Amino acid sequence: SPPSSDSEELITEDLCKVLRGDAVAWPEASDTEYYEAFLKWAAYHGVDVLVCHLLKSQEDWVRLPEQNRNELLERLRTAGVVEMLRSRDLIQLNESLQKAGIFVLLLKGGALAYTHYPEPHLRSRVDTDIFIDSGDIKTIRTLFVDLTYELRGWIYKSHQFNCFRRDPGVGAIQYDVHWRSSNRSKYARIIHYEEAKTSAVAIAGLDGILTLKPVFALLQACVHRAGSAHHDPNRLIWLYDIHLLVTAMSETELLEFARRAVRQNVQGICSDALERTMACFAT
């Protein structure tokens, strides 16, 4: 939930300035109300660790109160430890899945963390999203249970289920297993597994685990903002994903993305996502 604060607009703009590399007019260190709210909003937007990474090498870093700097550094260190445990689990899981003949694609933030962020722990996230063929649902559920994961979710009332395993270093390793590209029926078939698998790209640093090609990744990132009534579509981490994707894509890829968006009748959703991203990050 968003923090209770009267300074949301100011702090969100300051967060955007940090993320796009602009100067911030930092208040005096004695303004504890601002800096407490800054930490809360940074966490809500999922960018606190990324903001710490960007700020700590700048002269502005010392402008922040020492207590706030220490808090951000602790979050950064924790994120690094969690990512090591998470990636180890993912690699081991993928080995077991491949032995069972199940090939998964890594989705959303878990993939972008490795393909587009300077370091994977800088892309905050709670769980790891994977994309499977619908024919593998029964097999993969059995395999997860055999590997001591607990299952959640009703597979016939959704396009995904969740599973998790307790880990003393993380609290829990969590996966969202999808067999449609969106959990919302309206957008569930925008990206088909077989087509995505055919054009998938390997992720460096994850033993060859595959993910969506950039065109599909951008399409999913845009649609994800509109995919749930429980999501705040303007969380900065989701917009920053879009910023990084667009910035790295060729004109040919962007044209393919636009044509697919029109063909799937989600051009309004995609246009809104791009316009909001441009407003925040001058993409």
Q: Which tens digit of pLDDT belongs to each residue from 40-86?
A: 999 999 999 999 999 998 998 999 999 999 999 999 999 999 999 99
pLDDT of residue 156: 60
- The half-sphere exposure of 84 on its side-chain side, counting CA atoms within 13 A, is 6
d(CA 180, CA 185): 9
Place of tokens 């917009």: 239
pLDDT of residue 8: 86
Model confidence at 2: pLDDT above 80: no
Model confidence at 228: pLDDT above 90: no
Place of tokens 């307790």: 166
pLDDT of residue 61: 94
Beta bridge partners of 163: 151, 175
Average pLDDT (106-135) is 96
pLDDT of residue 5: 65
The 3-class secondary structure across 89-138, one letter per residue, is HHHHHHHHHHHCCCCCEEEHHHHHHHHCCCCHHHCCCCCEEEECCHHHHH
Pairing of strands 105-107, 210-211: parallel
Question: Phi/psi of residue 202, each to 5°?
Answer: -80, 145
pLDDT-above-70 percentage for the chain? 96
pLDDT of residue 183: 80
| Side chain identity, residue 73 | L
| Side chain identity, residue 193 | Y
What pTM did the predictor assign?
0.95
Average pLDDT (115-119) is 97
pLDDT digits (tens, 9 = 90+) for 155-186: 666 788 999 998 877 788 999 999 998 888 88
pLDDT of residue 4: 67
Give the three-class secondary structure for 71. Answer: helix
DSSP string, 152-179: ES-TTSSSEEEEEEEETTTEEEEEEEES
